[in-house]
């Protein structure tokens, strides 16, 4: 199996989402030592935002793209191909202002490509999306300051982090999505230690 690790935090050693992905990697390698890991950074190494030239190229038929169009899509093509070639994605992301970091959002904009990772069923804008990433699995490992971001919980209505990622990857065809969230970081102390112990144990039990 080929595993793609996507880290989104702008912090390094102090990042808890990175601690979660590292824990995941150690656990997975111990159980599946022959699996291949690839690393994609969206936090410390920035992903460029899409721009007008990107849009001009992405919405043209490949046969009609100019050299300028191809240049604008070079990184996007690389990122899309990376997704297609891997079997599983592990996304480590903090919650920034109730959403994903800007680098991860830029990454998503680069890979949400019509007729590459998704399409309209009829071939025309009909609102019926068909995902083109088949037989993939996603683990979302999130770190958040507060708690209660699950569906029907007190902060569920402002969860634009894991709910958004689940929706986006679902549009691209990924239906096997598992979420582990480390909450309560801003509270620290015993409350946060209990949260860490719970999530660390859950990640270590992944088969």
Known binding residues for FMN: 9, 15-17
**Burial of residue 74, with CB atoms counted within 10 A of its CB: 0-12 exposed, 13-18 middle, 19 or more buried:** exposed
Whether residue 172 contacts residue 133, with contact meaning beta carbons closer than 8 Å, is answered with yes
Rounded distance between C-alpha atoms, residue 118 and residue 125, angstroms: 12
Provide CB contacts within 8 A for 164, sequence distance 6+. Answer: 99, 100
Cα 153 to its chain centre, rounded Å, is 23
Rounded to whole angstroms, how far apart are CA atoms 182 and 18? 11
Annotated binding site: 9, 15-17
């Amino acid at each position: 199996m080929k595993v793609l690790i996507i880290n989104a935090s702008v912090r390094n050693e102090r990042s808890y989402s990175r601690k979660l992905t590292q824990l995941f990697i150690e656990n997975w390698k111990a159980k599946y030592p022959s699996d291949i890991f690839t690393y994609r950074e969206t936090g410390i190494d920035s992903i460029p935002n899409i721009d007008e030239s990107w849009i001009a190229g992405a919405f043209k038929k490949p046969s009609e793209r100019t050299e300028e169009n191809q240049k604008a899509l070079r990184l996007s093509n690389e990122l899309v191909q990376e997704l297609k070639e891997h079997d599983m994605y592990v996304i480590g992301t903090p919650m920034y202002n109730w959403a994903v970091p800007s680098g991860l959002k830029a990454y998503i904009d680069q890979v949400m490509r019509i007729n590459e990772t998704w399409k309209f069923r009829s071939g025309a804008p009909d609102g019926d999306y068909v995902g083109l990433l088949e037989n993939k699995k996603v683990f979302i490992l999130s770190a958040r300051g507060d708690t209660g971001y699950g569906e029907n919980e007190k902060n569920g209505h402002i969860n634009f982090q894991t709910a958004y990622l689940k929706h986006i990857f679902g549009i691209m065809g990924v239906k096997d999505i598992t979420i582990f969230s480390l909450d309560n970081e801003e509270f620290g102390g015993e409350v946060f230690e209990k949260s860490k112990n719970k999530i660390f144990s859950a990640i270590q039990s992944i088969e």
